[in-house]
Amino acid sequence: MKSEYIIYIAYVVFFLLLVGAAIYVPILAFNEDATGGYVAFSYTCHQKISRSLCIFNTDNSLWIGDCTLQNGTFIDSRQDRTTTRVETGSTIGYKIPICARDLGIYTAMLLAALVYPFVRKIDDTHVYPAIFLIIAIVPLGLDGTVQLLSELGILPFIYESTNMTRLLTGLLAGFAATFYAIPILMNMFRSKAS
């Protein structure tokens, strides 16, 4: 098998495992202690429940929704990072161990990798001009930066993004990133004999 295909398959498998594990941790939490999964992902994400999505279980059907009410209120507490379980009435949910923005990025990187062979040849090493990636990242950067600056009190207003905005800006950035990452990896790791 050509090295380009091995690189591509490794990329897809990596993001499949990453997204799969992120979704599996809260599903596991319904029946077992999933602390290890939350700890493992804590090295990659702040895990604030106010900025995360939860998997809920209602009448043995699973669905994804906001863990907390998305009303633009900034929550500043240690508990916001460590809470993994939410209850609303008879509905119980467990936090996905990465925030909505990271979930969007990683999911889009996986989806883009799956459509990649239909759009480009896998062994194509041409890297698009960086401006396209920058344009795709700008919404994510603006959303996160304005939110951070308002948290720090630098801005004269309070801005707390919503999970939908985080997810959408993450999806846009992640999808674009794959179309740069794969050709860059091809250039870095493909065999010299190719």
Q: What are phi and psi of 93, to 5 degrees?
A: -140, 155
* Confidence at residue 74, expressed as pLDDT on a 0 to 100 scale: 62
The string of pLDDT tens digits covering residues 62-115 is: 999 999 888 766 666 778 888 899 998 888 999 999 999 999 999 999 999 999
- pLDDT band with cut points at 50, 70 and 90 for residue 144: very high
- Residue with the bigger pLDDT between 88 and 37: it is 37
* Confidence at residue 13, expressed as pLDDT on a 0 to 100 scale: 98
* Confidence at residue 193, expressed as pLDDT on a 0 to 100 scale: 42
| Contact (CB, 8 A) for 70 and 162 | yes
Helices 3-29 & 100-119 angle (0-180, nearest 10): 150
Cα atoms in the 13 Å half-sphere on the side-chain side of 86:
23
pTM (2 d.p.) = 0.92
Residue 133 has pLDDT above 80, yes or no: yes
SS3 of residue 156 by DSSP: coil
Helix (H) or strand (E) holding 162, with range, is: none
Mean pLDDT of 108-129: 96
The string of pLDDT tens digits covering residues 165-194 is: 999 999 999 999 999 999 999 999 875 544
